[in-house]
Each structure stands twice: as C-alpha cells, then as structure tokens.
Chains A and B, each alone.
Chain A
Amino acid sequence: DAGVIQSPRHEVTEMGQEVTLRCKPISGHDYLFWYRQTMMRGLELLIYFNNNVPIDDSGMPEDRFSAKMPNASFSTLKIQPSEPRDSAVYFCASSYRGTQYFGPGTRLLVL
C-alpha cells in the first residue's frame, strides 16, 4: 500500500486566496483525520470522519475552514479566504481499529 497520500506537498499563496488540500486515505480505513501542526501550538486535530461522515469538527478554527469526504478514498480541506496565520503543516491521517497512519503533510505558506 502506498500509505496516506496528500497533495500538494507545498503550497504558497497570497492572503485572501482559496486553498484546497487533498487526501487519499489508506484503502480499507474507515476513519480519516485532518490535523494542523505549528511551532506555536503543536499538533491540533481539526476534524475527523467515520465512514465518510464528519464526526467532530470542533477543532476547525473558524468558518473559513471546511472539509469534505465525498467517498471513502478522497477528502479535501478547504480554506477560504486564507490568512497568514493559517500557515502551517496540514496532515491527513487514516485509521482502522485505532492506529492512525499519517500522510507526509502539506506545508502551507500564506503571504
């Protein structure tokens, strides 16, 4: 298995632009998680899905952030409009029976 796949790996954008991060979980995993990691706040859970249904989005910073999982093999995290404080590394992870496996992350820089 290729593991969790994320794209793009790096994204540089200007404040106000829309950013879409993509994730393909490991086949057969029924949970998908989106995290954000910064030096200031460490690893933060933003939202997670079970069988494509959002279960807990209490970690989503504000309405500018949205996430979808249209099917078992694809999820997106969208930021609109983006702000410099959104600069971070965004990780997607998937799991089956508890063990989460992380993707390589998307490093986002908002100028």
Chain B
Amino acid sequence: GESVGLHLPTLSVQEGDNSIINCAYSNSASDYFIWYKQESGKGPQFIIDIRSNMDKRQGQRVTVLLNKTVKHLSLQIAATQPGDSAVYFCAENTDAGNMLTFGGGTRLMVKP
C-alpha cells in the first residue's frame, strides 16, 4: 500500500527568482533562532541565525526576518539557484541550554 509520511509544504520557484520560506514558532520566550538547509542524503547545514534582540539579519544571498509580535520567522533567498533546492528547517532555542525545537520543514524546488 501507499506509505504515509510527513507532508512537507513545498515551494517551487524559478531559477533567478527570490524565495521566501516562512516559519511560525511556538514559544514567545525563545530568544535564538536558526535556519538549516538539508540536502538529500546529508545532515542539516547551518545557514543563518538571529537573536531576539534583532529584527533582521543578512548573509550572503540570504536574509532572516524575525517578527516577535506574531512569532514569525522567514528566510529570504535572493536569486535562487538550483543548488538551493533542499528542505529548510527553522529552529528555536527555548531554554538556557542548547536544545533546539525544530519546525517540520519546507521543501524548496528550483526550476531551471
């Protein structure tokens, strides 16, 4: 029979377009957030992080926006490339230690 698994939201974009991946986090006390990229057959790879005292942080082709009022995090990828195709996870730090709570992930597909 057909296997049932997690249904990952999928974002399909054209190469060269900008991508926006959204994440709603759960704990208003979270003070540190990370975006990870996971390519097929590999472990999650750190992309960019942001602390709760910031609203925006930019990296190379990526920008993370944090809206604490509505507990929303987004990852913007400029000029999306085929190599950006992957599953993207947001994660929040919810305690004083280093434990992270991960979101379910969004699959980004880049059409050439």
* A98 contacts the other chain (CB 8 A): yes
Known contacts A39-B6, A40-B4, A99-B34: A104-B43 contact under CB 8 Å: yes
User: Is the contact region of chain A dominated by helix, strand, or loop, or is it mixed?
Assistant: strand
B8 nearest in chain A by CB position: A42
Expressed in whole angstroms, the Cα–Cα distance for A91 and B93 within the complex equals 19
CB <8 Å contact, A100 and B100: yes
Known contacts A39-B3, A40-B6: A104-B42 contact under CB 8 Å: yes
Contact size range, B: 20 to 34
CB <8 Å contact, B49 and A102: no
CB <8 Å contact, B49 and A99: yes
CB <8 Å contact, B98 and A95: yes
Of the candidates A40, A56, A99, A105, the one having the most CB atoms from chain B within 10 angstroms of its own CB is: A99
Task: Report how many residues on chain A are interfacial, defined by Cβ distance under 8 Å.
Answer: 27
- Give the residue of B3, B36, B99, B104 whose beta carbon is less than 8 angstroms from that of A48: B99
- Give the residue of B4, B6, B98, B105 whose beta carbon is less than 8 angstroms from that of A100: B98
